Amino acid sequence: MGLESGAYWSTVYDPEAAPDITLFTGFPDADHPDTWARLFYYTSGGLNLFGGTTDGLDELIDEAVTTGDESLYGDIAEVVASTGLWHTIADLKVSSAFQKDVTGVEGATTRCSASPSTSPSLSPAE
């Protein structure tokens, strides 16, 4: 059973009225892994809809962004997967369109699976 938007959001703070499961499509609008880790998995993250958390996760996210050690996002993903609070059930396939004078866009639609250090930079053609 679906809920109207207003009815759904009112359940976020009322566990008795909340649905048993929530499915939605969400993806970050930037390349850095903190744009999804903090938004979805941080205790106060804007899309952590029901406030799911596990001990040490917020601190691990903070450490990753503070130290710049992007390998910690792999650890974050393992913690998230082990909690059972969040499940990825599909990978989104997307398309992108760019003006012809923009170069460096090869693989831009698959960038979410690449590390930021290997992702192409977008820049106007010389």
pLDDT of residue 53: 86
> For residue 120, is pLDDT > 60?
no
Q: From CA 27, how far away is CA 40, in angstroms rounded?
A: 9
Q: What is the pLDDT of residues 25-36, one digit of tens each?
A: 776 677 788 988
Name residue 77's amino acid. A
Which residue in the block uniquely carries the two structure tokens 């590390």?
Answer: 115
Q: What is the pLDDT of residues 49-78, one digit of tens each?
A: 778 889 999 999 999 999 999 999 999 999
> Would you tell me the crossing angle of helices 72-83 and 57-67 to the nearest 10 degrees?
160
> For residue 2, is pLDDT > 70?
no
Q: From CA 124, how far away is CA 65, in angstroms rounded?
A: 29
- Neighbouring C-alpha atoms within 13 Å toward the C-beta of 4: 2
Indicate the domain borders of the chain. Answer: 5-91, 93-126
